[in-house]
A = this chain, B = another copy of it.
Amino acid sequence: MTAVPPPIRIEPFKVACSNCNLRELCLPVGMSNEQLERLDSLVAIRRTVPRGDALFHAGEAFGSLFAVRTGFFKTCVASEDGREQVTGFQMAGELLGLDGIGTDRHTCDAVALEDSQVCIIPYHQLEDLSRELSDLQRQFHKIMSREIVRDHGVMLLLGSMRAEERLAAFLLNLTQRLATRGFSGSELVLRMTREEIGSYLGLKLETVSRAFSKFQDDGLLEVRQRQIRVLDAPALQALVNGPHC
């Protein structure tokens, strides 16, 4: 039984995991060419998300995961009374929407911090295919597990670090992920506001700003608005590990 092809507009360029330059960072890690071709048939559509728009909102029905192809996102949860917490920042090759699997509804908002593009991964098809391809299954499980481990790291940060330690840890994490993607490990442009950084780190925007200024005074960073140059990464690392013990 051949399925009717879905009436969806295909992007003009070919969408294919098999020749995507992010395949070593994304869902296809560890898959053979043959397997990749089967994944291609699943991930056939991209979606463009302009800066400021939401990819999905908390409460919406869940149907697909999304892989960031280009751009930058934040995810944030909110409590009844309107408190907001940024739970993460996602860049190329990272998956969005894992929170929706448990209840079939998204539980957070995903907002593009710059004009972005995502690959759409229909979730039930992914489940079906990962029952056939154990390498795909394994990689998907690893991605979920690492998200849990990452969250535990954020808890450690929020529960036991001081303001400057939090910002240092945040910056090192960002530069490391950017370096993995071939960018300079010392030069970066923040895509988010001081307020969003603060929300992620459990701080107010003024505190974030002061910490940036302090780092600049101490010669660890060069800060010009959102342009950041890391001058002394080891010193930042020393801050993250306990300098106060």
Q: Which residues of A contact B (CB under 8 A)?
A: 77, 79-85, 87, 98-103, 107-108, 127-128, 130-132, 134, 137-138, 141-149, 151-156, 158-161, 199-202, 240-242, 245
Q: Are B148 and A80 in contact (CB under 8 A)?
A: no
Complex contacts, A151 vs chain B, CB 8 Å: 148, 151-152, 154-155
Q: Are B99 and A149 in contact (CB under 8 A)?
A: yes
Q: Are A102 and B149 in contact (CB under 8 A)?
A: yes
Q: Are B148 and A99 in contact (CB under 8 A)?
A: yes
Contact among B83, B98, B134, B161 with A148 in the assembled complex (CB-CB below 8 Å): B98
Q: How far is the CB of A2 from chain B (nearest CB, A)?
A: 22
A202: nearest chain-B partner, CB-CB: B159
A203: nearest chain-B partner, CB-CB: B159
A-B contact pairs, 25 of them (CB 8 A): A77-B156, A79-B156, A79-B240, A79-B242, A81-B241, A83-B161, A85-B159, A85-B160, A87-B152, A87-B156, A98-B144, A98-B148, A99-B145, A101-B145, A103-B145, A108-B152, A127-B134, A127-B137, A131-B134, A144-B148, A147-B148, A155-B155, A155-B158, A158-B159, A159-B199
Residue in A131, A155, A240, A245 whose Cβ sees the most chain B Cβ within 10 Å:
A155
Complex contacts, A153 vs chain B, CB 8 Å: 77
CA distance A130 to B144 in the complex (A): 16
Contact among B107, B131, B241 with A131 in the assembled complex (CB-CB below 8 Å): B131
Q: Are B241 and A149 in contact (CB under 8 A)?
A: no
A242: nearest chain-B partner, CB-CB: B81
What 7 additional pairs, Cβ within 8 angstroms, besides A83-B156, A99-B149, A159-B199? Answer: A81-B242, A99-B148, A101-B142, A102-B148, A127-B138, A148-B148, A151-B151
Complex contacts, A154 vs chain B, CB 8 Å: 151, 155
Complex contacts, A103 vs chain B, CB 8 Å: 145-146, 149
Q: Are B131 and A83 in contact (CB under 8 A)?
A: no
Complex contacts, A242 vs chain B, CB 8 Å: 79-83
Q: Are B152 and A107 in contact (CB under 8 A)?
A: yes
